[in-house]
Structures are given as C-alpha cells and as structure tokens.
Amino acid sequence: MITVQHPEFFSETLNTIEKEIQEQPYQYLISTHSLVKLLLIEINRSKIAHGNEIWKPDALFLKFLESVRNNFKNNYQVSHFADLLGTTEAKLNEISKLNHSKLSPWFYNF
C-alpha cells in the first residue's frame, strides 16, 4: 500500500476519470489516459517523499501497451503485437505477468 501525499487530488481525479468514462465526451480516451498518467506521477512523487523506490516498466512493455491501446478496436491476437514489436508471444506474456500486479489496481479499480 502506498500512502499518497495529496489524497484529495486522487479523489478528484478518480471522480473526473469516472465521469469521462460514463459520459464519453469527445476525446474522452485521451483525457482519461492523461489523467491516469497524472495519478501515476503523483504516486511516484509520494513514493519518493517516503523514500521508496519508483517502479519503472521496461520499454518493451510500454511499447506493447501503447500498441494495444492504438489498435484496441482491431482485436488483434498477441502474435500480431509480437511481430510488430520484433519479439515473441512468450516474451510479451512474461512481461505482462511481471507488470500486471503493478498496473491492475489502477486499471481495474476505478
């Protein structure tokens, strides 16, 4: 568990994200993505303030997430992304498992 420095910021931002998702205004996905980035920045700032190490996902995982996000409507198989990124399905599965537990609270709990 991470103790954040500004809990009111989290509450307000999570409420804004929820509203964006429910109402789906123009470019709501871009807005939501940016708000999640702000939350992650605030988490890292809070961790630094408490002397904790910052989690940094590796570059391949970030490229994989970005590729999935950009092609979400196409419903591609993992093999497509492996070819696109010059890696294997096994490697993408491995990095996804390693990073899933660190991402899941933020992607599944709001």
In this model, does residue 81 exceed pLDDT 80?
Answer: yes
CB proximity list for 69: less than 8 A, separation 6 or greater: 33
- Tell me the whole-structure pTM to 2 decimals: 0.50
Check residues 99 and 42 and name the one with the higher pLDDT.
Answer: 42
- Mean pLDDT, residues 101-106: 54
> What pLDDT sits at residue 106?
46
pLDDT for 7-37, tens place per residue? 999 999 999 999 999 999 999 999 999 999 9
**Mean pLDDT along residues 47-61:** 75
Where are the domains positioned within the chain?
A: 1-55, 57-110
Question: SS3 breakdown of the chain: % helix, strand, coil, rounded to 5?
Answer: 75, 0, 25
